[in-house]
Amino acid sequence: MIKKHYICKLLCFHKIKFLDSNLEMSGDAELRNDMGKCVSESVQKSIPRHVAVIMDGNGRWAQKRGLERMLGHVAGVESLRNTIKEARISGVEYLTVYAFSTENWGRPEKEVDGLMNLFCKCLEQESTELNKQGVRLMFIGQRNGLNEEIRKSMESCEKLTEANDKLTLIVAFNYSARQELIDAARMLATDVAEGKINAEDIDEQQFEQKLYTRQIPAPDLIIRTSGECRLSNFLLWQAAYAEFYFTQVLWPDFDSSEWQQAMISYGQRKRRFGLV
């Protein structure tokens, strides 16, 4: 179900002539039905199927308030909860969030430990509710660098939610896009060495099948908060034709109205995929 206010805002931006009120006013049921379908198809096209988010600015949010950086991450969890809700309501099918990069291990030990504990606690506390909401949880990244408790928790969340189909939430944790590409290249090299495939037959489809994101469509929209305008080793292959939305807002301040602005901005884009 798409919220009424999304429809109204998107209609304005797409300059669709018949407004919601006309639909209600029209006495002709068939016409009303046709108009409704048309509006809904147009709005559906404006909703990205897959949104990926670089949740940046937690540390600065906390520092601005004289708080420890870790409290910024704690506040970031609330934004994430709200973003999941918004994604579900607006009809997004896949939401990928960048929660911990392989480069993040280089942060002070206290912050790394804090993020690991927060992640563990979140999985424990949120998975039941996410399951109730019909959210499927998946994780991308290198699991072998993580402790056993976290790995087991990730596996049990994936198992618990595997049949859900309202929204797929993909959490990039201990993730590096370059490592993902190296892993894919290694797998293909092994297949060639074992005579399963010929090197000259390797194409984009085969390559994609070796990525952590196989079975997941490429992101349509990548959002980054906090005013930084870079990918930071996130979904390098998958981002080839993504639209980008950068906002100055720090991640803990990314609320429903920020989400809607991102959706509206996406709805205004003309995607050509290299065509005219």
Nearer to ligand FPP, 48 or 59 (CB): 59
Residue 58 found at the interface with ligand FPP (CB under 6 A): yes
Rule CB under 6 A: say whether 57 interacts with ligand FPP.
yes
Residue 218 to residue 208: CA distance in whole angstroms: 10
Contact of 86 with 48, CB cutoff 8 Å:
no
Q: Among residues 94, 119, 212, 234, which is the contact residue for ligand FPP, using CB under 6 A?
A: 119
Indicate the SS3 state at residue 110: helix
Each residue 191-230 as x (binds ligand FPP by CB under 6 A) or -, in order, gives -----------------------------------x----
Catalytic residue, candidates 20, 82, 104, 183:
104
52 binds ligand FPP (CB under 6 A): no
Closer residue to ligand FPP, CB minimum distance, 3 or 60:
60
- Per-residue DSSP letters for 70-81? HHHHHHHHHHHH
The number of C-alpha atoms within 13 Å of 213 and in the hemisphere containing its C-beta is 29
104 is catalytic: yes
Q: Where does this chain touch ligand FPP (CB under 6 A) — which range of 11-19, 28-36, 115-123, 195-203? A: 115-123
Distances (CA, A) of 22 to 16, 41, 132: 12, 17, 37
59: contact with ligand FPP by CB under 6 A? yes
Does 87 help bind ligand FPP (rule: CB under 6 A)? no
104 belongs to the binding site for ligand FPP (CB under 6 A): yes
What is the residue-wise DSSP string for 145-214?
TS-HHHHHHHHHHHHHHTT--SEEEEEEEEE-HHHHHHHHHHHHHHHHHTTSS-GGG--HHHHHTTSTTT
Question: Which stretch, 17-25, 113-121, 161-169, 263-271, contacts ligand FPP (CB under 6 A)?
Answer: 113-121
User: Is 147 an active-site residue?
Assistant: no
List, in sequence order, every residue forming a beta bridge with 172; answer none if it has no partner: 98, 140
Q: Which residues are catalytic?
A: 56, 104
